[in-house]
Structure 1
Amino acid sequence: MNFNHSLELTQSQKLTMTTGLKQSLTILNMNKLEVEEEIKRESEENPLLEVERIGEINWEEYIKDIEKTIKLDRNEINYNPDNDINLENMIKYSSSIYEHLHLQINLYKLSDKEMEVCEYIIDSLDEDGYLRSDENEIVDILKIDKELFESCLLNIQQLEPSGVGARNLSECLIIQMQNLGVYNEILEEIVSKDLNLIASNKYKEISKKYNMSLQKCVNLINIIKMLDPKPGRSCCIEKSIYVQPDVIVEKIDNEFVVYSSTNDTCKIKINNFYREILKNSQSDDDAKEFIKEKLNSATGLIKNIENRKTTILRIAEQIVKSQEQFFRKGIKYIRPMRMKDIAEKLDFHESTISRGVNGKYMLTPFGMFEFRYFFTSALETKDDICASSTSIKKIIKEKIEKENKKKPLSDDQIAKLLKEDGVNVARRTIAKYREELGILSSSKRKQY
């Protein structure tokens, strides 16, 4: 064997993921709310970072203004010191199905044991208002007999919203019918045994089975369809997240102008106090080192947030250029577009575009749209012009909205209508788009 020792010089390229680059990519991928949370988190850890809240209400000044204009007479009979305004008591309140039911059951005259069982049953309900837990298990845990359990469950089933405490869908609907005074034996039979036929709109089969006219069958089923299959949801107050646009598109002198939204809730800057410490030659070296580290972190965050805004704005401008017909004429004129197309035009990597559109919103003359909405696949038309999947879905939805409800369009018929308009779409593609739009099949859309 030949062992030779020698030095060789080779060139190679590799990407090193620095902390700054990683933070830059992470911030670009964030939506507005996440960026604000990141700023809040960083400001709590970094004393050099100053966060100025925009649009915050100065409650102390607000209360002082109220006191100047409204004089309370403390000698009045109706005066109650507990009614004094207390900032700590000013909270946003939202109730749940459980609080709603507990409040109602406390109005019943029940023994301590009955109240204990009722409250346990309420806490065992799911968010839809159903009792999915095993009854025997509840009986064993509470050490009660089945008769007491049934009695307490019946009390729960009398509460509002009607239908809570049911053990299945059929029982839920029957409780509602009883409470509404529309209950009859035929309705109970249909609800108990033939909900699957109702879901499939098989009215003729139901009318034949119960030996009734088709019109009477339709009337009964319409009663059932008026009932709420998830009564617990009607009491839930869900928190709404209000989307704020990252960019705004306006039409000025027949030109579309894109600019960054300025409705940020906070602005960040470097605290000048620590800058003076760095300038002071007599300051402690360890303190200076700490300040330098935090200064680099703070300036890095500010730079990355500004880079995020610039990147998002550039992507938005390119989207508007590529989708000009959409902004002039509407949703049906949206063009097929890929992230790769935008990446090539901006000389960005495709992953940068993906991060730049994730969770970002654009306020347009037609409303608010997520950036991703503008990226759609293409379908060929007879004139070799590409149509986007989004525009095809819009056309399908419009045709279904205008159809004869007693003779709804099948997927095959919709495909033929689109072909007449010059768009060749397979029946299975129509079915796929229809399902994505949440539209039922023709047999289930049929009205009698």
Structure 2
Amino acid sequence: MKVMSQQQQLGLTPKTQLVTRLFLLPKLQQNLTILSYNANELVRELRNYDEANPFISLQYPKQELQDLSWLEDQGQENLVDHLEQELVYSKCPEKKKRVVKYLIYQLDNDGYLRFSEQELSEKSNFSIEQIQTARKILRALAPVGVGARNLTECLFWQAQEQKNFNQVAYQILRDNLLETVADPRHWDELKWSRTEISQALEAIRSLKPNPAGEFSNNAQTEYLIPDLVFKFENKQLIVTDSHYFLPEVVFDGDAYTELKAQSSKQEVKFFKQQRKDYQEIKEAVAHRSNTLLEIGKYLGKKQLPFLRSLKRADLNTLGLKDIARAVQLAPSTISRALKNKYFECQGQVLPLSLFLVKTVDNQSQVKVKQLLQDWIKVEDKSHPYSDEELVALFAQSKINLSRRVIAKYRKQFGIANSYSRRVKKV
């Protein structure tokens, strides 16, 4: 909704203001609810409308290049659907759920999370500490082994859950010796007898190497529908929404007219309500699309250098209020529009919240963090920079930071203090 100016508000009588609010509230509520859905959630909501309204059907756009068969019900539960459902019923705080959900979307087809915490942090706006916490929560979800970095870790997690598991097998997995025992020529190098190793391998074979094996094998990269698409054509940035991926809500006017003509007053009242529901959902989806496109066009102009390079160091400082002023929408509306949504650019799908960059002493937070990482990489490992020395380095770059802020960013990147980073020369 466009923000009403103070002068316009003063021009309304109290009674008119009350009537206006009462009239707009239901429609505004639905618009904001639909706006808050990401593309995947919107597809589910439209399916619910399709099931509830006898006159509504969903028509998917004809795709020349895109295969949308994965959107249809495959009869077998998808791993992502299963994990999202588990997350809904968990007691995990809402803020942490957002990070866990991000990790779920990064799983490969086998259920492994093969990215490092550093890579996951750089691909999102979540800190390494948040990624580490979310990874522990993901590990606690069923099936056991989902979210593991590799085969050995997956099997070890399963072994930890089993009572009276073969102790030799447990030690093999714990000490990362699986590749060694896979070759019988190396068995004599180990501390166990050949019989013990054979029995251990039998126990390991009872575990499941593929956590996603019992779920449908839909490609995870296709499951996440981008809400906005940024692409370059003839060096010009083009911004589109996700309508190529979303179904269109269609109303069967002929069936409505035919049934209305031969029905009772009560039934006609019900039919009219169904048509009204259709009109409202149609308008709400259009409102969502227009709002996202308006925001997307502004983001494209503001963050053009980043969209060209996809390097976080090229992001400009940007806040919710900046976007709200530019597109004349309330900051709370911008927050709903960006929350839990994703954009596609140059083959990568990233969270829209990545565009929001806080400032630190009038500098991009991303730039400050990048400088910190760069200095840590090139420091003398026998005499690493203390937080006080890092403060001085930033001051030389005309960025004034406190030791507390330096310590905060160190923790976010999993960087130890100078004492722990020191390496003695031999």
Asked whether the two chains share a fold, i.e. TM above 0.5, the reply is yes
Structure 2 letter corresponding to 1:422: K
Q: Distance in 2 between matches of 1:321 and 1:89?
A: 43
Closer, same or farther in 2 for the Cα pair 1:416/1:57, shift >3 Å? same
- The residue aligned with 1:431 is 407
Deviations 1:315-356 (A, max 9, x none): 111122222343356422322222111111211111111101
The Cα of 1:28 is off from its aligned counterpart by 0.6
Deviations 1:367-397 (A, max 9, x none): 43322222222123xxxxx311122122322
The Cα of 1:236 is off from its aligned counterpart by 4.0
The Cα of 1:306 is off from its aligned counterpart by 1.4
- The residue aligned with 2:52 is 45
Does structure 2 retain, via aligned residues, the 8 Å contact 1:408–1:446? yes
Root-mean-square deviation (CA, aligned residues, Å) is 4.2
Q: How does 1:1-150 map to 2 (within 5 A)?
A: 11=15, 13-14=17-18, 15-16=21-22, 18-53=25-60, 55-57=67-69, 96-97=143-144, 129-130=159-160
Q: Distance in 1 between matches of 2:77 and 2:211?
A: 21
Q: Distance in 1 between matches of 2:171 and 2:44?
A: 37
1:291 to 256, 271, 286: 271
Percent identity between matched residues is: 22
Does structure 1 retain, via aligned residues, the 8 Å contact 2:324–2:334? yes
Closer, same or farther in 2 for the Cα pair 1:50/1:392, shift >3 Å? same
Does structure 2 retain, via aligned residues, the 8 Å contact 1:129–1:233? no
Q: Distance in 2 between matches of 1:90 and 1:261?
A: 24
2:358 to 373, 377, 401: 377
Q: Distance in 1 between matches of 2:349 and 2:307?
A: 12
Q: Which runs of 5+ in 1 are unaligned?
A: 1-8, 59-86, 100-124, 133-151, 164-171, 185-231, 381-385
- The residue aligned with 1:82 is none
1:334 to 315, 328, 334: 315
Deviations 1:264-302 (A, max 9, x none): 153321124423326x64444333222211111122112
Q: TM-score, normalised by structure 2?
A: 0.59
- The residue aligned with 1:411 is 387
Q: Distance in 2 between matches of 1:432 and 1:305?
A: 41
The Cα of 1:39 is off from its aligned counterpart by 0.9
- The residue aligned with 1:395 is 371
Structure 1 letter corresponding to 2:56: L
Does structure 2 retain, via aligned residues, the 8 Å contact 1:249–1:257? yes
Does structure 2 retain, via aligned residues, the 8 Å contact 1:327–1:364? yes
Q: Distance in 1 between matches of 2:210 and 2:172?
A: 11
Q: Does 1:304 align with 2:295?
A: no
Closer, same or farther in 2 for the Cα pair 1:49/1:11, shift >3 Å? closer
Closer, same or farther in 2 for the Cα pair 1:437/1:271, shift >3 Å? farther
SS of the aligned residue for 1:259 comes to: strand
Closer, same or farther in 2 for the Cα pair 1:12/1:302, shift >3 Å? closer
Q: How does 1:84-233 map to 2 (within 5 A)?
A: 96-97=143-144, 129-130=159-160, 153=164, 155-159=165-169, 162-163=172-173
Q: Distance in 2 between matches of 1:28 and 1:90?
A: 27
Closer, same or farther in 2 for the Cα pair 1:256/1:422, shift >3 Å? farther
Instruction: Find the structure with the greater CA-based Rg.
Output: 1
Does structure 1 retain, via aligned residues, the 8 Å contact 2:292–2:337? yes
Closer, same or farther in 2 for the Cα pair 1:353/1:339, shift >3 Å? same
How many residue pairs get aligned? The number is 306
Closer, same or farther in 2 for the Cα pair 1:32/1:446, shift >3 Å? farther
SS of the aligned residue for 2:415 comes to: coil
Q: Distance in 2 between matches of 1:394 and 1:255?
A: 28
The Cα of 1:248 is off from its aligned counterpart by 1.6
Q: TM-score, normalised by structure 1?
A: 0.57
The Cα of 1:252 is off from its aligned counterpart by 3.5
Q: Distance in 2 between matches of 1:90 and 1:357?
A: 28
Q: How does 1:310-329 map to 2 (within 5 A)?
A: 310-328=290-308
Does structure 2 retain, via aligned residues, the 8 Å contact 1:96–1:235? no
Structure 2 letter corresponding to 1:260: D
Deviations 1:190-210 (A, max 9, x none): xxxxxxxxxxxxxxxxxxxxx
Closer, same or farther in 2 for the Cα pair 1:257/1:182, shift >3 Å? same
Q: Which runs of 5+ in 2 are unaligned?
A: 1-12, 62-66, 80-109, 112-141, 147-154, 182-186, 193-206
The Cα of 1:130 is off from its aligned counterpart by 3.3
Does structure 2 retain, via aligned residues, the 8 Å contact 1:247–1:259? yes
- The residue aligned with 1:215 is none
Closer, same or farther in 2 for the Cα pair 1:42/1:391, shift >3 Å? same
Does structure 2 retain, via aligned residues, the 8 Å contact 1:326–1:333? yes
Q: Which has the higher contact order (CA 8 A, sep 6+)?
A: 2
Does structure 1 retain, via aligned residues, the 8 Å contact 2:231–2:237? yes
Q: Distance in 2 between matches of 1:174 and 1:249?
A: 43
Does structure 2 retain, via aligned residues, the 8 Å contact 1:378–1:389? yes
Q: Distance in 1 between matches of 2:347 and 2:381?
A: 29
The Cα of 1:437 is off from its aligned counterpart by 2.7
The Cα of 1:438 is off from its aligned counterpart by 3.3
SS of the aligned residue for 1:39 comes to: helix
Q: Distance in 2 between matches of 1:127 and 1:298?
A: 49
The Cα of 1:90 is off from its aligned counterpart by 11
- The residue aligned with 1:256 is 237
